Amino acid sequence: MCDTLCSIQPGRTLFAKNSDRPVREVQLIEAHRRRDRGGELRTQYLSLADEGAAALIGARPDWLWGFEHGVNEHGVAIGNEKVWTVDDPNAAPPALIGMDLVRLGLERARSADHALDLMTALLERHGQGGIADAIDDEAYFSSFLIADPRSGWVLETSGRRWAARPVAAGSGAAISNRIGIRDDWTRASVDLRPGDDWDRFRDPQAWTGLADVRLATTRPVVDAAGPAPSPLDLRRVLRDHGQAARAIPATATRGLPDPAIEADGTGITVCMHVRGYQCTTSSMIAELRANGGDEPSVRAWVAMGSPCVSVYLPVFVEQGAAPLAPRALGEVATYGRFATLRERVELDPWDRDGSDEALASIREVLDPLEDELWEEAEQVAADPARRASFVEQSWARVDRALARLGV
């Protein structure tokens, strides 16, 4: 389960995603330099010709080659979602999985349109198949949100079939774990004719409540009829435990959702805490800028583990330069520290009034530090000479804060 959203604004696009995965799975955040083309590239289950790669920052479960989400030096951001369709993913032979397509799109694409072309061509040629959740031994198909500084696409798939709906300038989109395209697609595989309703590929037995309750939180944030969101607004909604459907209060991280999962979606929130089964394991916010200048065309903030017990660390991706992210975020031990904090708050007795002493004590340490890092990142963004040292020093400060919290 995941949530991805974007807002296409004058001069920039904001993109954000929470990646929800099994609680025992580790997810790493990595910076990768450009790679020259040539030779063979091994995805999770297939070997492909290596077309080279753009510089990028991406998040991946430690056993997978592909990414849950990421952003590249050309200002392309992509995230995927598990969807249930009438086609059986378990019947498909090992091929490409959703995370492969995210990474291949990021490695090769220079725009959202380019990414859509690449990803759908790969999908049609190689198909989808193979275990994508090793802990639960599950295969599944994916939907995707693709964005660049000026445009975006919602792409939904079922096996080799696909349909895509554009996200126009001045608007936004939010996707979750359900088919959402109807007859509003503008590009599709040959299986569809103009006017066809893509919803016919949605599994009618699939429970959509788990997605609908979260879409009721994320969609209003990027609705073109409302005020354009800021990165801070996206930070708050990615931490939501059920409050942001009404507003996006500064206290959105206070109190975990109800541990009981109900048919109406109670207990399912954007910052995921389905105890013992699934949780948010990585999160990203990206600002994709249409204009150059002294600052990099991409600004991003990444959080390891569950957003409510983590810090969104500023990172930088600039065309022609090495991407900058703390090396510690690529280490299993670092993920374990944030997982320990999540377990601490989930073990705290749940209080219906929304109070949560364990979570409040963690945010008392992490909130001031996060705000300081965001403010300082604004100052160093236009100074390439300072960015690398700032990124590593920012992790050193988070490391000390985690030590204060006993992890």
Q: Among all residues, which ones are annotated catalytic?
A: 2
Q: What type of residue is 147? A: A
Give the phi and the psi of residue 124 in degrees, each rounded to 5.
-65, -35
Give the three-class secondary structure for 12. strand
| Neighbour-count burial of 289, counting CB atoms closer than 10 A to its CB (0-12 exposed, 13-18 middle, 19+ buried) | middle
Tokens representing 397 are 């400060």
SS3 readout for 66-113: CCCEEEECCCCEEEEEEECECCCHHHCCCCECHHHHHHHHHHHCCCHH
Whether the CB-CB separation of 67 and 106 falls below 8 Å is answered with yes
Residue showing tokens 């600002």: 287
Number of H helices and E strands in the chain, helices first, is 7, 19
Whether the CB-CB separation of 252 and 243 falls below 8 Å is answered with yes
